[in-house]
């Protein structure tokens, strides 16, 4: 028996019946619509570009430094 002849359970959903877990939205890097494999990005390339920006420090959380020393309090 080949793979095409194997019986499929009736309860199995086909891809057309499945709803996406998250709605597609624009890629933060290029604006194309996102795909499930690389969510929230449109491709592996955009995902890697974003990772590179984090690793090189292009994205940073601003820090507010106190002018007071801890000894003065």
Contact 28, 36 (CB under 8 A): no
**Does residue 33 fall inside a structural domain?**
yes
What's the total number of domains in the chain? Answer: 1
- Tell me the C-alpha distance between 68 and 70, whole Å: 7
Provide the residue-wise pLDDT of the chain in tens; the chain has 73 residues. 455 676 655 555 556 666 667 888 999 999 999 998 889 999 999 999 999 999 999 988 888 887 776 555 5
Is residue 52 domain-resident? yes
Provide the domain limits for residue 38.
21-57
In 1-73, which residue ranges form alpha helices assigned H by DSSP? Answer: 44-56
Q: 35 in a domain, yes or no?
A: yes
Inside any domain, residue 15: no
- Would you say the pTM of this structure is higher than 0.85? no
pLDDT computed for residue 59 by the predictor: 87
The CA distance from 11 to 24, in Å, is 26
pLDDT of residue 64: 87
In a domain, 38, yes or no: yes
How far is residue 40's CA from residue 47's CA, in Å, rounded to a whole number?
8
């Amino acid at each position: 028996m080949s793979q095409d002849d194997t019986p499929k359970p009736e309860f199995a959903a086909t891809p057309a019946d499945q709803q996406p877990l998250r709605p597609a939205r624009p890629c933060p890097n290029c604006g194309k619509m996102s795909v499930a494999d690389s969510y929230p990005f449109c491709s592996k390339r955009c995902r890697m570009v974003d990772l590179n920006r984090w690793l090189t420090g292009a994205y940073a959380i601003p820090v507010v430094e106190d002018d007071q020393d801890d000894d003065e309090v």
